[in-house]
Amino acid sequence: MINPYRMKLVLEDGTTLAGTSFGAPRAVTGEVVFNTGMTGYVETLTDPSYRGQILTLTYPLVGSYGVPAPRAPGSIAAPYEADRIQVQGLIVQSYVERYSHHAAVRSLGAWLTSEGIPAITGIDTRALTRKLREAGTMKGWLLPDGHDLDRTSAHAVDMKEEVFRAVAPAAPILYEGGKLRVLLVDVGAKDNIVRSLLERGATVDRVPWHAPLAERAALADGILISNGPGDPKDLGPLVAQIRALLAHYTRPIFGICMGNQILALAAGGDTFKLPYGHRGVNQPVQDLLTRRCYVTSQNHGYAVRNDSLPADWEPWFVNINDGTNEGIRSRVRPFFSVQFHPEASPGPQDASYLFDDFLRLCGAMSNHADTPRGAP
Ligand SMILES: NC(=O)CC[C@H](N)C(=O)O
């Protein structure tokens, strides 16, 4: 007889770990990645950059503060980062069903189940993480009782153009704020990027990455290229659009995470896949200009190759753990980007000043847009 609570995790190298299901009893497959944050599962599970991935949380107790009420359609309220759970599946060591929090109205398991997302508890996530750190991220399967490993039957997300389209809004959305207008190029943007701009008084024109950007860019005081899932090299049409903008745009362009990678590719640089990525809320980075260090929130599997940058660009931030690139800037134009998340959510807000700096620059340049500072 099939037991709806039995589930197993199978990795591409054959490792099989048995556990208990606490989400939807559905078979899925995806890239198994780990995040080391101790809290923030509502924000993390709804971050569109996790599309296609099965997420392991290394913190052992998960679920104790429950999940708040769903937000109204069209709302971008915290702590949700998108309208739905984005991960393929969730792996934890000890799931806590009995939650306690003033804002909670449902358990984590009830939320996952209502959205059709499988989850497994009873897994030694620290051992699993050590394996992923040694072997690199691997493909894996979550298989409820009664499903055997048939490499084709589990639901998979094929990171094709439809997925990149699905994580962005179907049509542009205008969030009215103050005078400064930011064009947010949405590749799967976390809602806290929009909230961070609105809080600082900007108007946000949120457009899907595949929309024609040049005309809307001309109306904006600056452009922000968002975070997003998958390999930046699969977004050739966006890279081409940004490359065209870099040739003549005179106002600030800022990139976050995927935005950093897209800007690097558009400038003529290159990206590569990290062995197991950076996912957590205590990733240390250093600003190479000021030598100041920041503790940052991160979620990425790819990085920019420093030595691939053209002569008029330079590395801006470096990851202190592994020395990989965490940001780039043009030496001569107001174009710059970071690989970490200044909007945090979850995570420390040490780097939120970058939104202030970006908007200050947008304001300073908005009345003399044709003569960029420092232009050759
Ligand atoms: N958060 C992001 O924007 C991630 C960017 C890209 N998908 C990566 O994994 O590197």
Q: Is 210 a catalytic residue?
A: no
Residue range of the domain that includes 112 = 6-144
Gap from CA of 15 to ligand 1 centroid (Å) = 27
Query: Is position 343 annotated as part of the catalytic site?
Result: yes
- Cα 260 to Cα 193, 300, 361: the distances in Å are 15, 11, 18
Instruction: State which H helix or E strand residue 365 sits in.
Output: helix 353-365
- Yes or no: say if 147 and 154 are a contact pair by the CB < 8 Å rule: yes
Are 18 and 97 in a shared domain?
A: yes
In a domain, 149, yes or no: no
pLDDT, tens digit, for every residue of 88-116? 999 999 999 999 999 999 999 999 999 99
Does one domain contain both 301 and 168?
A: yes
Residue 151, in any domain of the structure: no
215 sits in the region (left: phi over 0; alpha: psi -120 to 50; else beta) called: alpha
Task: Please tell me whether the interface predicted TM-score (ipTM) of this complex is above 0.85.
Answer: yes
Counting atoms of ligand 1 from 1, which one is nearest the CA of 228? 3
For residues 206 and 77, state if they share a domain: no
Nearest atom in ligand 1 to the alpha carbon of residue 256 is 3
Catalytic residue among 257, 278, 300, 362: 257
Distance CA 156, CA 169 (A): 22
For residues 247 and 347, state if they share a domain: yes
Question: Which residue among 302, 326, 338 is best mutated to probe the pocket of ligand 1, counting the most ligand atoms within 8 A of its Cβ?
Answer: 302
pTM: 0.95
Three-state secondary-structure class, residue 166:
helix
Alpha carbon distance 265, 308 (integer Å):
9
Residue 311 CA to ligand 1 centre (angstroms) = 25
Using CB distances shorter than 6 Å, the residues near ligand 1 are 49, 227-230, 257-258, 299-302
Task: Find, among 316, 355, 328, 367, the residue nearest to 242 by Cα.
Answer: 328
CATH of the domain at 14: 3.50.30.20
| CATH number of the domain bearing residue 251 | 3.40.50.880
Query: Which amino acid does the sequence have at 252?
Result: P
* The ligand 1 atom nearest the CA atom of 188: 3
pLDDT tens, residue by residue, 190-245: 999 999 999 999 999 999 999 999 999 999 999 999 999 999 999 999 999 999 99
Contact 42, 69 (CB under 8 A): no
Chain-centroid distance, C-alpha 298 = 8
Residues 122 and 167 in one domain: no
- Per-residue tokens: 24: 């939807």
Annotated catalytic residue within 147, 300, 341, 362: 341
Of the three residues 114, 144, 174, the one that is the final residue of a domain is: 144
- Active site includes 341? yes
How many domains, the chain?
2
pLDDT tens readout for residues 147-198 = 887 766 778 877 778 889 999 999 999 999 999 999 999 999 999 999 999 9
Residue pair 33/301 in contact (Cβ under 8 Å)? The answer is: yes
My answer on whether omega of the bond before 284 falls inside 30° of 0, hence cis, is no
Annotated binding-site residues for L-glutamine read: 49, 228, 230, 258, 261, 299, 301-302
Whether 173 and 89 share a structural domain: no
